[in-house]
Amino acid sequence: MKDLMTTAQSTTAMRRWRPPGLVALATAVALTALSGSAEAAKQTRQPAEAVAPREAGEPIMAIVSIKSQQVTFYDSDGWILRAPVSTGTTGRETPAGVFAIVEKDKDHRSTMYDDAWMPNMQRITWNGIALHGGPLPGYAASHGCVRMPFGFAEGLFDKTNIGMRVIISPNDAAPIDFTHPSLFVPKREAIAAVPNRADKLSAEAEEAIQAAAEAKKAAAAAAKEAASLPASLRKLEQQKAKADAELAFADKKIAAAKTDQARAQAEELKPKLATKAAEAASALDAAKAAAQPKRDAVAATKEAAKVAATRKADAVTAATDAKLALEPVSVYISRATQKLYVRRNTHKPAPDGGGEVFDTSIEVPVTIRNPDQPLGTHIFTAMAKSDTGLRWSVVTIENGDDAKDALDRITIPQDVWDRIGPTALPRSSIIISDEPLSAETNYRTEFVAVLSNHPQGGFITRKPTAPPPMEMASDDGWGNGGNGFGFFFQQQPNPQPINPRRRGQYQYYQPAQPMQRGFW
């Protein structure tokens, strides 16, 4: 206020003693000073870069605060890096929600904005939202991405991995320690047994694959051998019918003969025709008898191939699950869909060249008490091992129910917990949200969910994710050619939301049928 009054007094004095031109110049200088002061004030509110005064571990999550225009990275012991950011401007807002890094590109050029340089890009959605280096004016100014300082983005690039959680919060948020009986409690003996179990099941899967291939080959050979039977039998049936007709005609000629000579000629021909008819019948009966074993072989080999294919699928599923037990597990529970989803990174390069493939084989209903009441959006993360199993934290980015009460209201199928809980590792997570999964969620993303009551201009104005190929196969589920079994991935629908604030118009990830792995 003192500076403002001084400026005003100086301007008044100049009006008294100077010509009109100087008065106008002084006014312009004063306005510039005021504008500069406002801009300086805006710049001083911008957070500063900071590094924790300790040795940092591998980043587990990043939290972007839209309110404070700041990003903070956390390892298992707390925050390790902080920096100012610039999120999306009005109409191009950065979506608040839950994401994960799905692709990294050191020297990325935008395909949406005139080949704009986005160095050290770390993509969090396939429709173009990413963390990357860029100019920071001190306020939200991007088209929806999260700009970080150029040097900060460069130093960070090699520290993060595909699948690292990125939480974008409307307000300031941070992980706090959390305990609850519903969280995973791994068993040391189960984790220790995983490598040997994975090797054993992989070997069994290889045997099942080989047996299925041999059974399929045998079924194909039997079917090929039997393929000519219908035509051969039809030909013999026609020959027998013709011989029977000729014999019947001879009987008619004998009965209709008017002379002894005609009758004698007909009677002389009849034994030959009878022999021919008998031979045709005998040939047909023999062919039918010979065909039956071939038909039985077709049925038997077909059934054997079907049984072998089922065994193969079961063996491959078991082997795949055993391998996935070596990876952190992510669980998403949606009040909107009343479903639980499980994802694990296979680290298999996506066949279409972008990112890595995530296993999506578990999707089951859950029971939520008082389903009409909001749960909020809470991200529970296993930060590190502890004496009792895992040490957990929780980040809440949308208030609904308290994090503990939200977990209390959910009944999770015990078979799912038994399948994934005993081998849960640090960096595993459980997300509870009122939101359904975004349409941007597909086989090459971790979970993508956006808060529907916050603006998402920078998300919904972008092109939908390009449709991936309908199905892709590889030597195994990990892209290493190791065990000879693999996944098929089906294209998932991914229409984009229409309105940034109206929940009713959103289109979300809803597979037409439960996602299943196919094997053959």
**Residues with active-site annotation:** 132, 145
Across 238-350, where does the E strand assignment appear?
330-334, 339-349
Q: What is the rounded distance in angstroms from the CA atom of residue 493 to the CA atom of residue 74?
A: 33
What phi and psi, each to the nearest 5 degrees, are found at residue 505? -95, 0
Place of tokens 């429709």: 127
Q: What is the rounded distance in angstroms from the CA atom of residue 95 to the CA atom of residue 88?
A: 8
Amino acid letter, 177: D
3-state DSSP assignment of residue 133: strand
Query: CB burial class (10 A; 0-12, 13-18, 19+) of residue 267?
Result: middle
Sheet containing 449-450: order of strands: 50-51, 78-84, 70-75, 61-65, 165-169, 97-100, 449-450
> Using only C-alpha atoms, what is the Rg of the chain?
37
Residue 31 has a CB neighbour count (10 Å cut-off) of: 12
Cβ neighbors of 251 (< 8 A, separation 6 or more) are 270
Q: What is the rounded distance in angstroms from the CA atom of residue 411 to the CA atom of residue 374?
A: 16
Q: Which of 150, 146, 165 is nearest to 59 (CA)?
A: 165
Amino acid letter, 404: K
Instruction: Answer positive or negative: Cα dihedral of 500, 502, 507, 509.
Output: positive
Greatest extent of the chain over all pairs of C-alpha atoms, in Å: 158
Q: What is the rounded distance in angstroms from the CA atom of residue 167 to the CA atom of residue 162?
A: 14
What phi and psi, each to the nearest 5 degrees, are found at residue 449? -140, 135
What phi and psi, each to the nearest 5 degrees, are found at residue 452? -75, -15
